[in-house]
Amino acid sequence: MNSTNETHDLSLRSWIESANVRNADFPIQNLPFGRYRPIGAIEDFKIGVAIGDQILDLQETGLIDTSDMNVLMSLDAQARLRLRSAISQGLAHGSPEQHAWSKLLSPQCKAEMALPCRIGDYTDFYTGIHHATSVGRLFRPDQPLMPNYKWVPIGYHGRASSIRVSGHTFRRPHGQTKAPDAEQPGVGPCRRLDYELELGYFVGRGNELGQPVPIEVAEDHLFGVTLLNDWSARDIQAWEYQPLGPFLSKNFVTTVSPWLVTMEALAPFRAPLSRPEGDPQPLPYLDSEFNRKSGLLDITLEVRILTQRMAKDGLAPERVTLGSARTAAYWTAAQLIAHHTVNGCNLQSGDLLGSGTLSGPAANEAGSLLELTEGGKKCVTLTNGEQRTFLEDGDTLVLRGWCERPGAAHIGLGEVRGTVMA
């Protein structure tokens, strides 16, 4: 699953011409999974594979015998490799399946997308060391990182019921806040609304209660990756998060992309994990030869903003962040699985693990406004003259991600889009 094969061949082309366009998100080397139906339809969502600007109805191809994405995700690694190979062969230029499969395509622009699968549980981690350091410096200048950060993957349990798929709107959250000079807190709308640029790791095959997952096989339990925006109410968070961590500041909404880019598709885009000199090496249950050699994912990440005024003036979303998951993450996805289960916790198919905010070392790689504005002390000035310290009503955030490397096809993760309403 972690090795490249014929499905990654740079010269491979599809009979669907939109998949052959340079730098397309969904070439034949990608083949992400999602759930869709025609816009306005009341039928059940179907399992599809994105190819170019189309969606292939995977169920109608006869390659799978389930309409349940979670069942598909729980296949073992070898079955998933066989399925990927069969899809690739059927979509390849010159395939004998072209005539039959061409009738099973739907334009993505005419499809309504659902969450990729049933999400039973959601755990949000804190793997972005530059984010953790920057935010810690705002609140604890003498000790930006807590002593446990470099020893244990920090995480908290989020709210699965408020996870939404890209393209939705949501209301600005209310909650309890307290100004530094106030005698007591009050309740009202959040005034420091923020985004968090993350990756979402989806569990494929679960583990039995009481049976930890060794790091050597942890990635066999991962199905795929999405983009994730863990919206945050920073003023509510500042008042509530001690001593037990975030609550209302995080559980009002989380947005994910509709497409699951599989771990198999990401095989050409692996990077080594190394610790800076002087940092402790991972404990044995969080360490393996493969994890050191290829544990990180080399994914470029971008955040753009579209204000109401920009949209009215016909302007495109403007970039505010461009960074890389490879330089941002201190812990790998395999380490998150191994740590999550070391106490015997049972993960299940469809469980979602958030990476935490993935900020790079440079200022323009920050994955949140909290960092970009240094806690609201500075403004982000857009090309049209508008300024932001935190998000305003009507703002739309667009997260994008892609992988590119010499000798490999460019593949994308699509986008996560969400709009703040009053």
3-state secondary structure of 218: helix
Token pair of 122, please? 């959601």
Question: DSSP class of residue 44?
Answer: P
Looking at this protein, which amino acid is placed at residue 204? G
The closest of 241, 236, 166 to 390, measured between CA atoms, is 236
126 is in an annotated binding site: yes
216 is in an annotated binding site: no
Beta strand 296-297 with 174-177: parallel, antiparallel or unpaired? unpaired
312 is in an annotated binding site: no
| Separation of alpha carbons 116 and 202, rounded Å | 9
Question: Does 131 participate in catalysis according to the annotation?
Answer: yes
181 is in an annotated binding site: no
- Computed from CA positions of residues 187, 192, 193, 197, in that sequence, does the dihedral angle turn out positive or negative? negative
396 is in an annotated binding site: no
293 is in an annotated binding site: no
Displacement of CA 116 from its chain's centroid (Å): 12
Selecting among 8, 130, 131, 221, the annotated active-site residue is 131
Measured CA to CA in angstroms, residue 241 lies from 135, 178, 214 at distances of: 14, 13, 32
The span from the first CA to the last CA of the chain, in angstroms, equals 45
| Separation of alpha carbons 315 and 309, rounded Å | 9
242 is in an annotated binding site: no
78 is in an annotated binding site: no
Task: Determine the number of helices (DSSP H) and then strands (DSSP E) in the chain.
Answer: 11, 26
Q: What is the dihedral of CA 369, 373, 374, 375, to 10 degrees?
A: -60
Token pair of 216, please? 């050597």
Q: What is the dihedral of CA 353, 300, 48, 30, to 10 degrees?
A: -120
198 is in an annotated binding site: yes
User: Which residues are known catalytic residues?
Assistant: 131
Mark the binding-site residues for Ca(2+), compressed into ranges: 124, 196, 198, 230
Mark the binding-site residues for substrate, compressed into ranges: 126, 140, 237, 241, 357
Mark the binding-site residues for Mg(2+), compressed into ranges: 230, 250, 254
Mark the binding-site residues, compressed into ranges: 124, 126, 140, 196, 198, 230, 237, 241, 250, 254, 357
